[in-house]
């Protein structure tokens, strides 16, 4: 009976943690700005190689997010564990599914969750130090295709030119707060994670954009725009009902003034 109660407790805790993962992340993130010793380094999720695919593909009633997919969408690092229990082909499927949801995430594959701690700590996924690595990642990544039915996916796009900070805020707030950006069929675009590097008018350095659910932040990085470099804005969005072309159009309309696009 004791172990049964313990199991229920663990399940409730896990469920709550799942439910509030985004909120918890937001609290630590904001807290770091208040000068606390605690800061949000990055979000790590563990995917079970044996059952992960089943959880990721589980159908939820219309409108509800599959929680396993949401955890993958939020993560900066995914540990695919129990690789000894699956074939190379099965592992490949899990990896492809994870990647189809989150095009930016770093993936480690483990047995008994054994990891080199240097791969898990100091991710700096939320601060301006991640500017350089984010730049490389964004440059190389492509928009994913909704691999899992009605699933969460990653879209990325690039728009040349300088943008005004107030216009960028407007774009992000429409997307995350007002939720008035819709796809072709009128469904609200639901952004779970947002990352980007943008070129703000009057700033000599690249600015990093970070978003988790409704919370977002802009921070100047240590990466300066070079004299001969084309100033550009690259955004990566992870979520549901995302349509790259529509988002890009809305971005251009909201953020850049026509004469500023080169």
| Interacting residues with ligand GTP (CB under 6 A) | 48, 81-82, 84-85, 111-113
Nearest distance in Å: CB 3, ligand GTP: 12
Q: Among residues 111 and 133, whose Cβ is nearest to ligand GTP?
A: 111
Q: Among residues 84 and 158, whose Cβ is nearest to ligand GTP?
A: 84
Nearest distance in Å: CB 119, ligand GTP: 16
Nearest distance in Å: CB 113, ligand GTP: 6
Q: Among residues 109 and 219, whose Cβ is nearest to ligand GTP?
A: 109
Nearest distance in Å: CB 27, ligand GTP: 24
Could you please report the per-residue DSSP string of the chain?
-HHHHHHHHHHHHHHHHHHHHHHHHHHHHHHHHTT-S------EEEEETTTHHHHHH---STTPPPHHHHHHHH-SEEEEE-GGGS-HHHHHHHHHHHHHH-SS-EEEE-STT---GGGTS----SSGGGHHHHHHHHHH--PPP--STT--EEEEEEEES-B-HHHHHHHHHIIIII---B-TTSPBPEEEEEEEEE-BTT-SEEEEEEEETTEEEEEEEEEEPPTTSPPEEEEEEEEES--HHHHHHHHHHHH--GGG--
Q: Among residues 81 and 233, whose Cβ is nearest to ligand GTP?
A: 81
């Amino acid at each position: 009976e004791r172990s049964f109660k313990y199991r229920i407790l663990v399940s409730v805790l896990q469920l709550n943690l799942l439910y509030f993962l985004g909120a918890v992340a937001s609290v630590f993130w904001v807290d770091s700005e208040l000068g606390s010793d605690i800061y949000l380094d990055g979000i790590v999720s563990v995917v079970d190689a044996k059952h992960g695919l089943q959880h990721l593909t589980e159908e939820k009633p219309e409108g509800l997010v599959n929680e396993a997919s949401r955890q993958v969408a939020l993560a900066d690092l995914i540990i695919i564990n129990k690789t000894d229990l699956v074939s190379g082909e099965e592992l490949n499927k899990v990896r492809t599914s994870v990647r189809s949801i989150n095009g930016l995430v770093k993936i480690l594959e483990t047995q008994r969750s054994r990891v080199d701690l240097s791969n898990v700590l100091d991710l700096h996924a939320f601060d301006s130090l991640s500017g350089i690595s984010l730049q490389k990642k964004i440059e190389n990544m492509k928009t994913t295709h909704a691999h899992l039915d009605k699933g969460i996916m990653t879209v990325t796009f690039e728009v040349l030119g300088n943008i005004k900070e107030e216009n960028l805020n407007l774009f992000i707030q429409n997307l995350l707060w007002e939720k008035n950006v819709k796809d072709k069929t009128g469904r609200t675009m639901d952004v779970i994670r947002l990352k980007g590097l943008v070129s703000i008018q009057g700033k000599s350095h690249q600015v990093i954009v970070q978003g988790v659910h409704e919370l977002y932040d802009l921070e100047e990085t240590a990466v300066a725009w070079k004299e001969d470099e084309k100033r550009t804005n690259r955004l990566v969005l992870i979520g549901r009902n995302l349509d790259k072309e529509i988002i890009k159009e809305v971005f251009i309309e909201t953020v850049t003034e026509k004469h500023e696009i080169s």
